Chain A
Amino acid sequence: MFKKILIANRGEIALRIIRACKELGIKSVAVHSTIDADSLHVRFADEAVCIGPADSSASYRNIPSILSAAEITDSEAIHPGYGFLAENANFAEMCETAGIKFIGPSPENIRLMGDKAKAKEVMTKAGVPVVPGSKGPVGGEDEILGIAQKIGYPVIIKASAGGGGRGMRVVHSAGSLINSFLMAQSEAVSAFGNPEVYIEKYISEPRHVEVQIIADERGNVVHLGERECSIQRRHQKLVEESPSPAITPKMRKKMGEVAIAAAKAVKYKNAGTVEFIVQGDKYYFMEMNTRIQVEHPVTEMVTGIDLVKEQIKIASGMPLGFRQDDVVIQGHSFECRINAEDPEKFTPCPGKITSFNIPGGPGVRVDTAVYAKYTVPPNYDSMIAKLIVHGKDRAEAMSRMERALDEYIVEGIKTTIPLHKKIFADPEFRSGKYHTGFLEKFNKK
C-alpha cells in the first residue's frame, strides 16, 4: 500500500481523496495555487505545496510543477481527481516515467477513450451496440453525405477530440449538412486542436444513463450499477440518481454486461464510466470516461462501496475485493450539484459566503470544500458542493432531498439551491419519466 499520495486537484474532490487516504492510513499531499492557500483541502492534508499562481494552466494543470511537488515530498502516487489533468494521457505517461503511480487507467486507455471516434470503432468491433453512424472520423463531404443518407436525418456531427457535450452540431436536412460539416471541423480545430469529426444518428428525447465499472490490474472487471444523468443544462449535469427509473432489471443486467465487455475490450484498469444514450428499451454506447466522476457518490450510497478507496487499492496492486455477485443495489440515491450561480440566469456568483448551514440527519451526505467566511474564487469551476441523499426507495429519497434542500442555507452568494427545490417539486421529474430535454423545457415554464 502507498505511504504517501499527492492529490493533483482542488476543492471537494481533493478533500474526498484526502478522506480516503486518511482512512487507509496514507499520508496526503495537497497542491494548491496561491489563491487556494486557505482551502479546506490544504488544511486537512498532511502536507501542502504551493505550485503556482491562480490561473490553472500555471498551477493545477502545470505538469512540471506537480511532478516536482511529488518529487520533493517523496509521494509514491498521484490521484488526479476529475477535470484538470485527470484525462491527460501525457500526464499519466510522465508519472509512469517519473516512477510515480498514476491512480487511474493506463495512458493508452485514456488516449483511446479520449478519441471519441476511435473509441466507437473499437466498441463496434467488440460487439457493443453503438449509435448508427460513421465508423470513425469522416473523410470528406461525399462520405458524410452518403452516411447521413443511409442513417437518416436528423443527424449529429461531433468532434473526435470533444466529449462531455462539447463540439456538437445537429443537422436536420441534407441542405445544411455540408455547411455544418465545414463549420464543425473549424470549431473542432479551434476548441480541441483537431479537426476530426464523426457523424451519428441524432436520437431525440434521449436519456443519458451511465454504468460505473471498476477493474483491477489483473483483468477482473465488475459493474456497480447505473446512474441516470439526464437532468442537464447545456450538457452539464445538475441532478443525478441511482438506480435509473428508466432501466428495467433486464436492461440493467444487459447494460452491465455490455459495460464490462467494453472495459475488457480495451484492457481497462481502475475506475471508469461507460455512458449510454437510452431511448425506450434501446441503449447505445456514447463514450467512456476514464476517471472518477463528480457523481460517484450516488453509486457509493446504493452499493456501500467506497470508490476512491478502491481506486487507491487497485493502483497499489491489490485485486478487487468483491465479485459481481457481491454487488447489491440497495435503496435509491440522488445528488444535487450546488453551484455558485444565479438559479435563474446561471451567471457565476463568486464571493464571500457569510453563512453556510449544511443539512444533516439520516441518509444525508454533503461533499464540499467550502465553509462560512470562505471566499469563492472566480477562477475555477462554480460547483461548491454536492448534496447527496439515500432512501429506502425513490419516494423516500425524494422527500429526504426536499427536506435537506430546505435545511441548506447559504448566504452571501447565490446558489442553484432554489432551482433544485423547483426540480424536486416538478411532477415530470417526480414521475421519473424525463429525458435530456427536461431542463430546457423546465426553464421555459
Chain B
Amino acid sequence: MNLKEIKELIDLLKDTDVSELELEKAGVRVRIKKCASEPGRQYVVEHTVPVAVTHAANPQQPASQATPDAEVSEGASKNVVVVASPIVGTFYRSPTPEAPSYVEVGDTVKKGQILCIIEAMKLMNEIEAEVSGKVVTVLAGNAQPVEYGEPLFHIEPV
C-alpha cells in the first residue's frame, strides 16, 4: 500500500459519515480513524503488518513493509495454484547470486521442477513445483525472509 492509496482512502472518509475504516490487502492492514470532535478534523492512520513482516534489506526503510515488488498480472485470481512456503527462511530466486533465476514470469514449469531456494539455518532447500503450468506471478522478493505459508508464486495449471 503506498501513500497515494492511503490519501485516496482518507478522501473517501472525508465526505462520508464513516468514522473508522480498516482495510487489509496483500498482507498489509491499514486502519484510518476520524477524530470527529477536533476542529481541524485529524486523521489517525495505523499501518500495521499483522502476520508477515519482511526484513527490510535497506536499514533506512521503516521496519514494517509490504512484500516488495509483487509482479501481478491480470488473470492472477483466476484458476491459479498458490505455491506457499513450506518452511521459514530466506527466499532466493537463483541457486547462486551470479546464476540466472530458476523461473521467470511467463515460464512453463513441469511438476517437480525447482522454482526457488529457501535457505534455513545455512541449509539450502529446493522448492519444487507441485503442478505443471505457467508461472503467472512471483510474489516473494529475492533475498527476502519468508514465513511458513507465505505465498511465493502463482502457477496457472495446464
Q: A residues bordering B, Cβ < 8 Å?
A: 34, 37, 42-43, 46-53, 59, 64-65, 67-69, 71-74, 98
Contacts known (A49-B88, A50-B150, A73-B55); A68 close to B121, Cβ less than 8 A: yes
A-B contact pairs, 29 of them (CB 8 A): A34-B148, A47-B53, A47-B63, A48-B51, A49-B53, A49-B88, A49-B145, A49-B147, A50-B51, A50-B52, A51-B88, A51-B147, A53-B148, A59-B148, A64-B87, A64-B120, A64-B121, A65-B88, A67-B121, A68-B88, A68-B89, A68-B121, A69-B147, A71-B89, A71-B121, A72-B90, A73-B53, A73-B55, A73-B145
Chain A residues near B148 (CB, 8 Å)?
34, 49-53, 59, 65
Chain B residues near A50 (CB, 8 Å)?
51-52, 88, 147-150
Asked whether any CB of chain A lies closer than 8 Å to the CB of B112, the reply is no
How far is it, in angstroms, between the C-alpha of A357 and the C-alpha of B98 when the chains are bound? 59
Interface size on B, residues (CB 8 A): 18
How far is it, in angstroms, between the C-alpha of A419 and the C-alpha of B103 when the chains are bound? 60
Chain B residues near A47 (CB, 8 Å)?
53, 63-64
Least CB distance from A123 to B in Å reads: 37
Contacts known (A52-B148, A68-B120, A69-B147); A37 close to B89, Cβ less than 8 A: no
Asked whether any CB of chain A lies closer than 8 Å to the CB of B50, the reply is yes
A72 engages B149 (CB within 8 Å): no
A42 engages B120 (CB within 8 Å): no
Chain B residues near A51 (CB, 8 Å)?
88, 147-148
- Closest residue of chain A to B91 (Cβ to Cβ) is A72
How far is it, in angstroms, between the C-alpha of A34 and the C-alpha of B121 when the chains are bound? 21
Q: Per-residue CB proximity of B127-153 to A under 8 Å, as 1/0?
A: 000000000000000000101111000
How far is it, in angstroms, between the C-alpha of A68 and the C-alpha of B124 when the chains are bound? 12
- Closest residue of chain A to B89 (Cβ to Cβ) is A68
Chain B residues near A68 (CB, 8 Å)?
87-89, 120-121
Least CB distance from B86 to A in Å reads: 9
- Closest residue of chain B to A59 (Cβ to Cβ) is B148
Across the interface, B149 reaches (CB within 8 A) one of A34, A42, A67, A98, namely: A34
Chain B residues near A69 (CB, 8 Å)?
88, 147
How far is it, in angstroms, between the C-alpha of A43 and the C-alpha of B50 when the chains are bound? 6
Least CB distance from A27 to B in Å reads: 9
Across the interface, A37 reaches (CB within 8 A) one of B51, B53, B64, B87, namely: B51
How far is it, in angstroms, between the C-alpha of A352 and the C-alpha of B53 when the chains are bound? 28
Least CB distance from B103 to A in Å reads: 22
Contacts known (A34-B148, A50-B149); A65 close to B51, Cβ less than 8 A: no
Closest 8 CB pairs of A and B: A72-B145, A68-B88, A68-B120, A50-B147, A47-B53, A49-B147, A50-B148, A69-B88
How far is it, in angstroms, between the C-alpha of A102 and the C-alpha of B120 when the chains are bound? 19
Chain B residues near A34 (CB, 8 Å)?
148-149
Contacting A at CB under 8 A, from B73-100, are 87-90
- Closest residue of chain A to B120 (Cβ to Cβ) is A68
- Closest residue of chain B to A67 (Cβ to Cβ) is B121
How far is it, in angstroms, between the C-alpha of A98 and the C-alpha of B123 when the chains are bound? 13
